[in-house]
Amino acid sequence: MIITWVLVYFCVFKGVKSSSYVVWVTVPLPCVFVLFMVLNGLTLNNADQGIRMYLKGITVKMTETAEDGTVTQLYHTDRFGNKLPGELV
């Protein structure tokens, strides 16, 4: 905690001019880290298959999935999941 306050003090000690140098480092640094992580992810095994699946997407019809009953159930319940009166579901 003390180290942080010392760094902040030196950043604003001389005013805006010295803090602008800090911004030059702190703004691009996260972008560089993200770039390294993306490049690392692209070098992993089967990364190309994951990219193809992401770009292609997974298309499944609702009638062929287990969620079919869930979708119809949503129309016959209130927002808390209770059955509405008079419904036969």
Q: In terms of domains, do 19 and 52 share one?
A: yes
**For residue 75, pLDDT beyond 70:** no
Number of domains in the chain: 2
Q: In terms of domains, do 30 and 8 share one?
A: yes
Average pLDDT rounded to a whole number, residues 57-74? 57
Which residue(s) pair with 77 in the sheet? Answer: 83
What is the average pLDDT score of the chain? 75
Structural domain containing residue 79: 60-89
Q: In terms of domains, do 73 and 51 share one?
A: no
Q: In terms of domains, do 65 and 31 share one?
A: no
The pLDDT of residue 40 is: 94
Q: In terms of domains, do 43 and 17 share one?
A: yes
Q: In terms of domains, do 53 and 81 share one?
A: no
**For residue 20, pLDDT beyond 50:** yes
**For residue 37, pLDDT beyond 70:** yes
